[in-house]
A = this chain, B = another copy of it.
């Protein structure tokens, strides 16, 4: 039911598609690196499965393939970037590079971005900081699918947060997670299988907890991390709100229920209070706090100690954030990336439209 493609195959195809919609060679290569890193790392919902979605946004003139991405305001440690409706896959690394350069100059750099689009996986951008011995952070708002605690209305996106922290001998600590109990991608997998969702992931249109994986299509909503009030969903709601405010209210993007939808067929919200989607990036030079080698030795000690934490019965070991994705990346780079049949069909149709073979 699924085909396996090498990283090179998927990348070449993706890069050609981005060129066909008018991206420069440089932008096409960058957008491809970001997009296909999701497939490599096992976050299949954010990789080539979305490629035709980006193309449809371009067809609907909601994505500008030749954006003039620019800094519209800055201080020594901050900047606001206008993405000029460019691919988030291109705008985000541009903005993260500014955060890194500012950190080089004054210790930390913080960049809020408006007028952008879906930026792929947050972890890619956060990890850009690692090679400079910096801690990287990335977050983004997204179209509203999540109901605040005690509400039936969709007000927030799944608003992910990624934090990447360098170590010495150990691999880096890389957390990358939606601020909901379950990412929308996990729900999509259940929908394809026609399987039930665990209680606590979604609610129906009346706000009752539901195990219907299709509840979102029936006016339901995803639940914030914590699921319900008794289990701390007000904390997940607060986290998602912070991501929304840092990404979109600080930058002048469209926030909350007005965030632009990813599917091109969904009409844009009325009376949008800002431009496009928003992102927020941070970079902190480790040696702005203590010598980098000293910090990384302690990170090795931290990671080593947590790896040795006594596992619960039935579990082999305790994981460090980033372990599963890194293992998947290593495996798929060697053995190829499995792509499910509906996505293969989607890519093939896309290839036919542009005269590019998968």
- Residues of chain A having any CB pair with chain B under 8 Å: 73, 75-78, 80, 106-108, 110, 112, 135, 147-153, 155, 163, 165, 173, 175, 177-182, 198, 200-201, 203, 206-207, 225-227, 230-232, 234-239, 241-242, 244-246, 249-252, 255-257, 273-274, 284-286, 288-290, 295, 298-299, 301-302, 305-306, 309-313, 315, 317-319, 321
Contacts and interface: CB of A to CB of B under 8 A. Distances in A.
B78 A250 contact: no
B151 A310 contact: yes
Contacts of A110: 107-108, 284, 288
A107 B273 contact: no
30 contacts: A76-B106, A77-B107, A78-B285, A110-B284, A135-B246, A147-B312, A148-B306, A150-B311, A151-B309, A152-B310, A152-B313, A153-B310, A165-B242, A179-B235, A181-B226, A181-B232, A201-B231, A203-B312, A206-B313, A225-B225, A225-B232, A227-B227, A227-B231, A231-B231, A241-B321, A244-B302, A251-B289, A252-B290, A256-B306, A257-B305
Given A77-B107, A245-B299, 16 more contacts: A73-B290, A76-B76, A77-B106, A80-B290, A108-B108, A148-B309, A148-B318, A150-B315, A150-B318, A155-B305, A155-B306, A165-B245, A175-B242, A238-B321, A241-B321, A250-B286
Nearest to A226: B225
Nearest to A156: B306
Nearest to A80: B289
Given A112-B289, A148-B318, A151-B318, A175 B107 contact: no
A249 B298 contact: yes
Contacts of A75: 106-107, 285, 288
A227 B110 CA distance: 32
Contacts of A286: 250
* Closest 5 pairs (CB-CB, A-B): A207-B312, A75-B107, A175-B238, A78-B107, A150-B315
Contacts of A148: 306, 309, 318
A235 B230 contact: no
B151 A78 contact: no
A311 to B, nearest CB: 6
For this chain, the copies found in one complex come to: 2
B182 A232 contact: yes
A229 to B, nearest CB: 9
A245 B319 contact: no
Contacts of A234: 177, 319, 321
B150 A256 contact: no
B319 A149 contact: yes
A141 to B, nearest CB: 11
A181 B112 CA distance: 30
A153 B309 contact: yes
A173 B245 contact: yes
A242 B290 CA distance: 17
Contacts of A108: 77-78, 108, 110
Most chain B CB neighbours (cut-off 10 Å) among A200, A207, A302: A302
Nearest to A252: B290
